[in-house]
Amino acid sequence: MVTGAGSGIGRAVAVELLRAGWSVALAGRRTETLEETAALVPKAASLAVRTDVTRPEDVDALFAATVGRFGRVDLLFNNAGTFGPGGVPVEELPYDAWRHVVDTNLNGAFLCAQAAYRQMKEQDPQGGRIINNGSISAHVPRPHSAPYTATKHALTGLTKSLSLDGRPYRIAVGQIDIGNAATDMTARMQTGVLQANGEVAVEPVMDVADVARTVRHMAELPLEANVQFATVLATGMPYVGRG
C-alpha cells in the first residue's frame, strides 16, 4: 500500500513496486491521478482507492478494500504529506494552516500505521513492514517551516515507537528521510530557496527514481532485517555543513 500515490515520491515508489511484481493499493485524494499512476504499469496488479488519510473512516475503507482485493497487507509506505504554506513566519501562521499540516503529515500517518498494525497482527502468516516518509526536516529545519518540521520530527518518534511495539508481531518499521528529490513539490529548489543565513540559493536535486529504488530495497528485506533509518539526498544539497 502506498499513500500519496497520485504524484511525486508516492507515484515513483508505486511504479517501482508494481514493476517489481508487487500488488499495490494506491491511495490518494484524487482518483484520476491514482488511475494515471496505475496506467504507467498497465499489466500490474493495482487498486486505486480515493483516500483522505486525515479521516479515520477513509483509512478504514482503504484497508478493507485492499484486504478484500489482495487478501493481506505486507507493506505500507506511509507517504502522504504536505509542506503547508511556504515562507510564512511563525508569528503570522494561521492556526488552520498549522492544523492541516499536522492532520496530514502526523495524524494521517498514525491512522494508516494503526490500521496496518491491526491487519498485520491478524493475518496469517503474521507480520509486515511499515516505511514512513520522514524528510531531511526530520533532522534540521528550513527557515519558516515550523509545521512541516515539527511533524517530521514527530514522525521519527512515531517510527521508533512503532518499531519497538511491532517486535512481538513480526512488524518491521523503518523511515526514509529524503532531501531534494525532483518532484513538483520541490520545483522551487531549482529557482532558489531561502537559506539559514538569509540568502536565497539554487539547490541541487536528485532523480526521484533513486528514492523509489531505496524504498524497494527496504521493502524487500526479510522481516528479520530492517533498515531503521535511511537518508537519501541530492549529493550537493546544503544539509551537511554550516551556513
239 is catalytic: no
- pLDDT score of 48 more than 60: yes
**pLDDT tens-digit series, residues 60-88:** 999 999 999 999 999 999 999 999 887 78
Catalytic residue among 117, 148, 169, 239: 148
Q: What share of the chain is helix, strand, coil (3-state, %, to 5)?
A: 45, 15, 35
- pLDDT score of 240 more than 90: no
* Mean pLDDT value across residues 138-160: 95
* Mean pLDDT value across residues 207-222: 97
Residues 6+ apart with CB under 8 A from 34: 5, 6, 26, 27, 28, 48, 49, 50
* Mean pLDDT value across residues 135-152: 93
Any bridge partners for residue 174, and if so which? Answer: 131
- pLDDT score of 243 more than 60: no
% of residues, the chain, pLDDT over 70: 99
Residue 36 has what pLDDT? 98
Residue 41 C-alpha cell reads as 504499469
Domain-wise residue ranges, the chain: 2-233
- pLDDT score of 19 more than 90: yes
Residue 50 has what pLDDT? 98
Band of pLDDT at residue 242, cut at 50, 70 and 90: low
Angle between helix 108-122 and 56-70 (nearest 10): 40
The whole-angstrom separation of Cα 16 and Cα 90 is: 38
Q: In the sheet that 171-179 helps form, which strands lie side by side, from edge to edge?
A: 46-50, 24-28, 2-3, 75-78, 128-133, 171-179, 229-233
Is the bond preceding 125 in cis, omega lying within 30 degrees of 0?
A: yes
Give the three-class secondary structure for 27. Answer: strand
- Provide the CATH topology of domain 2-233: Rossmann fold (3.40.50)
